[in-house]
């Protein structure tokens, strides 16, 4: 069975929506193997250890299967990531009736065979690429060899994009922790703000047209709501008594300071 080696992340990814990218690749893969029925990505969040399928608006399968998978509960996937090797299920119906009686792939749907490839940058797990087919025994060695060029190009683009996203989220988490420590607030406060933002964002998503994953993106970045406080001196921010007019003016600057910091952060990530 071939092994897809980690690739150097030098490809300049064009501004293409991730779902559009997966759909385009699926069409090209179907030109090689007509039985391929779906191409999806499980994106790994290292903070929560949760795998979230993309596209977010369609789950992984048409019957609305599992949206979130905790990696800790999937030692098979973790083992793939550690070995940096792909895995093939030749016939799902046969594997689901294995000796332990459990279906190792609880996402549902009608696929019969599946190819799973871990997406890594160095030792960092970014997620998994899933390629499904509606017939058994599709991903044989000869088929994998024929699919390899297209899959390696897709892996490179996904690792570039997901790697930039992982870098951004790492910086977001770090900045949020710094603000929380300096301001004396607890992690519970940041989690509550994120939960409120996710709830509000999901309601808004149902009323107007927004980019896919809007609510989740807002929730992940919500801990930055007070990052502008880093620009306020401690003598003002932590002053126990009344503020004078000059100090009050300083306390009104965090929004503009925060916007500038976040804009600079985004420009740095996008420039990479």
Beta bridge partners of 53: 42
Q: Indicate the Cα dihedral angle 239, 240, 246, 248, nearest 10°.
A: 110
The pLDDT tens digits for 5-20 are 433 333 333 445 777 8
Q: Provide the token pair at 3.
A: 């092994």
Average pLDDT of the chain, as a whole number: 77
The pLDDT tens digits for 95-131 are 654 333 333 444 556 788 999 999 988 778 888 999 9
Which pLDDT score is estimated for 185?
67
Q: Where do we find the tokens 């549902």?
A: 108
How far apart CA 158 and CA 197 sit, in angstroms, is: 27
How far apart CA 113 and CA 81 sit, in angstroms, is: 20
Provide the phi-psi class of 127: left if phi over 0, else alpha when psi is between -120 and 50, else beta: left
Which pLDDT score is estimated for 114?
92
The pLDDT tens digits for 152-205 are 888 888 888 887 777 777 777 777 777 777 766 656 777 888 889 888 988 887
Closest of 260, 257, 250, 186 to residue 223, by C-alpha: 186
How far apart CA 175 and CA 224 sit, in angstroms, is: 7
């Amino acid at each position: 069975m071939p092994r897809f080696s980690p690739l150097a992340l030098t490809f300049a990814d064009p501004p293409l929506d991730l779902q559009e990218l997966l759909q385009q690749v699926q069409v090209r893969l179907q030109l090689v193997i007509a039985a391929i029925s779906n191409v999806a990505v499980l994106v790994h969040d290292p903070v929560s250890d949760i795998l979230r399928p993309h596209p977010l608006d369609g789950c992984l399968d048409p019957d609305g299967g599992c949206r979130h998978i905790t990696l800790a509960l999937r030692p098979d996937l973790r083992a793939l990531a550690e070995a940096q090797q792909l895995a093939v299920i030749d016939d799902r119906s046969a594997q689901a009736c294995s000796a332990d009686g459990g279906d190792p792939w609880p996402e549902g749907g009608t696929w019969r065979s599946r190819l799973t490839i871990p997406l890594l940058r160095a030792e960092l797990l970014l997620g998994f690429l899933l390629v499904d087919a509606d017939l058994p025994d599709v991903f044989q060695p000869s088929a994998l060899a024929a699919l390899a060029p297209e899959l390696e190009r897709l892996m490179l683009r996904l690792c570039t994009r997901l790697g930039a996203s992982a870098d951004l989220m790492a910086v977001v988490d770090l900045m949020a922790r710094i603000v929380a420590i300096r301001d004396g607030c607890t992690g519970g406060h940041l989690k509550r703000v994120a939960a409120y933002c996710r709830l509000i964002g999901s309601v808004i998503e149902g009323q107007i047209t927004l980019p896919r994953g809007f609510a989740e993106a807002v929730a992940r970045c919500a801990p930055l709501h007070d990052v502008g406080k880093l620009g306020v001196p401690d003598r003002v921010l932590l002053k126990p008594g009344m503020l004078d007019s000059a100090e009050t003016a300083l306390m009104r600057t965090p929004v503009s300071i925060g916007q500038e910091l976040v804009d600079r952060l985004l420009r740095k990530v996008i420039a990479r």
